[in-house]
Amino acid sequence: MVSQLSEAVLDVIADALVDKGYIFLPELIPHPISQVLLEKIQTTEIHELKAASIGRGAEQQLNPDIRRDRIQWLEEQSEPDSLYLDLMTQLKDGLNRRLFMGLFDYESHYAVYQPGAFYKKHVDALKGSQNRILTTVFFLNPDWTPADCGELIIYDEADNEIERITPKMGHFVIFLSERFPHEVTKTQAQRNSIAGWFRVSNSMHGF
Ligand SMILES: O=C(O)CCC(=O)C(=O)O
Ligand SMILES: [Fe+2]
């Protein structure tokens, strides 16, 4: 399966990131790839995923009052992860060519939110102190209904709600990691996503 993000789509994404710092795309990932990613998550037992923690490095801790998803990191060596990671490399290169963002690598994990799980409002990168630049979230839930809740709500810097994304199969969102607080509302059904972060090289920031 070889898939190409078109130059036209990359133009739209780059323009939106410059204009408003985020973009919601109802269908970016080719359907056959979404399908194999969904099959992988559906055939993974919940105990194979690990409880997600908050904070980085020595500060890392489990905190079920803040976050209750279970995660598994994607790996370049395994399919279908590599299909998704290849598209993210195209996105990285396309954005670097257009915006000179200096995006260097990408880390991402599958996340499963079981009924009752949520992730309270947070930002993915503390201003100036981290190397996460751009967040991506991709949803893998074919039969989602409004009653299932589990929306991803994105806020602006003044804490106004600017986007409420239903975690339906195919939905994809990209936003500047430092700029947008966001939360996952309590889900009523199992909710699958892939969250990822484009990072700049530590050495470029003098860490
Ligand atoms: O799954 C989502 O909608 C977003 C998850 C999130 O915000 C994160 O993992 O940092
Ligand atoms: Fe987040």
Ligand 1 binding site (Cβ under 6 Å of any ligand atom): 111, 119, 124, 137, 152, 182, 184, 193, 195
- For the residues of the chain, what is the DSSP string, one character each? ------HHHHHHHHHHHHHTSEEEES--S-HHHHHHHHHHHHTS-GGGSEE--BSSGGG-B--TTTB--EEEE--TTSTTHHHHHHHHHHHHHHHHHHH-----EEEEEEEEE-TT--EEEE-SS-TTT--EEEEEEEE--TT--GGGB--EEEE-TTS-EEEEE---TT-EEEEETTT--EEEPPBSS-EEEEEEEEE--GGGGT-
Examine the pLDDT at 204 and tell me if it is beyond 80.
no
Q: How confident is the model at residue 201 (pLDDT cuts 50, 70, 90)?
A: confident
Q: What is the pLDDT of residue 134?
A: 97
Distance of CA 195 from the midpoint of ligand 1 (Å)? 6
pLDDT (tens digit, 9 = 90+) per residue, 31-84?
Answer: 999 999 999 999 999 999 999 988 877 778 888 888 999 999 999 999 999 999
ipTM confidence score: 0.99
Distance of CA 136 from the midpoint of ligand 1 (Å)? 9
Residues with C-beta atoms within 5 A of ion ligand 2: 124
pTM of the model: 0.94
Domains of the chain: 7-55+75-202 (2.60.120.620)
pLDDT (tens digit, 9 = 90+) per residue, 76-120?
Answer: 999 999 999 999 999 999 999 999 999 999 999 999 999 999 999
State the average pLDDT over residues 146-153.
98
State the average pLDDT over residues 135-142.
98
Q: What is the pLDDT of residue 207?
A: 42
**167 CA: nearest ligand 1 atom:** 3
Q: How confident is the model at residue 206 (pLDDT cuts 50, 70, 90)?
A: very low
Q: What is the pLDDT of residue 53?
A: 87
**193 CA: nearest ligand 1 atom:** 1
